[in-house]
Structure 1
Amino acid sequence: MFMGEFHHTLDTKGRVIVPAKFRKLLGDKFVITRGMDGCLFGYPIEQWEKLEAQLDKLPLTKKDARAFTRFFYSAAAEVEFDKQGRINLSAPLIKFAKLEKDCVIVGVSDRIEIWDAERWNEFSQEAEDNFEEISEKMTDFDF
């Protein structure tokens, strides 16, 4: 399971270090793609394959399903770690997540997320401010 928050920097070549504890869980190769809320999602190959199986069930006749799968798959890339534990992010992924220099890599159960630090701070503050209200709306969850 992925959990935790780590701060790293994106270099001028589009590379970012992935924390060692996440590298162990991701394996030698993993898939990175556009995520929700303006961040990137990174999945171990096994988890990516489960997600693919679910996406394959979406009806081709539904416009929203076509749009979602196009957007999700079009920037997806299989990445590997270099000797320093970095991955190289493509220009479309960097642009989508508005990554500049300071990044935050967070573990979220079955995936990692890569955020621009400023966007993460904004999201995190909003979630903190509304945590109790958000938890009340989660009808199928009980602490």
Structure 2
Amino acid sequence: MITKGQERCLYVFPMPEFQRIAGQLRDQPMTHKAARAYSRVFFASAHDEVPDKQGRVTIPGHLREYAGLSRELVVIGASSRVEIWDKQSWESYLADSEEDFAGIEEGVLPGGM
């Protein structure tokens, strides 16, 4: 499943992971405004894309536009998903984020790694 991700990238999930996240979103109370907003965008933009015989996947136009995908892409592994970025957007994000990454002291990883 391909859908809009945060920071203007695309998220690609294997179906079992997409279904797990869908279940978590369904479990949120309908009164939770942020959960409603996230669910709308997440599900409305989701596409079940099946690779062709050569393993290629078509990215729908509205998702290419959302992520600003140009000719050069970056595909990264991000735990239970793959992210697809426009190369220039990824490089900009990485440049902006590396200082924050280097300065993270605790709270992100269990055990305080």
Structure 1: distance between partners of 2:57 and 2:24: 27
- Compute the displacement of 1:140 (Å): 4.7
SS at structure 1 position matched to 2:23: helix
Residue 139, structure 1, aligned to residue 102, structure 2: no
SS at structure 1 position matched to 2:7: coil
Structure 1 residue runs of 5 or longer lacking an equivalent are 1-30
Query: What are the equivalent positions in structure 2 for 1:7-18 lying under 5 Å apart?
Result: none
Of 56, 69, 73, the match for 1:103: 73
| Number of residue-to-residue matches in the alignment | 111
Per the normalisation by structure 1, the TM-score is: 0.73
Q: Would you tell me which structure has more strand in proportion to its own residues? A: 1
Q: Would you tell me which structure has more helix in proportion to its own residues? A: 2
Letter in 2 for 1:37: E
Residue 78, structure 1, aligned to residue 63, structure 2: no
Structure 2 residue runs of 5 or longer lacking an equivalent are none
Per the normalisation by structure 2, the TM-score is: 0.90
Letter in 2 for 1:95: E
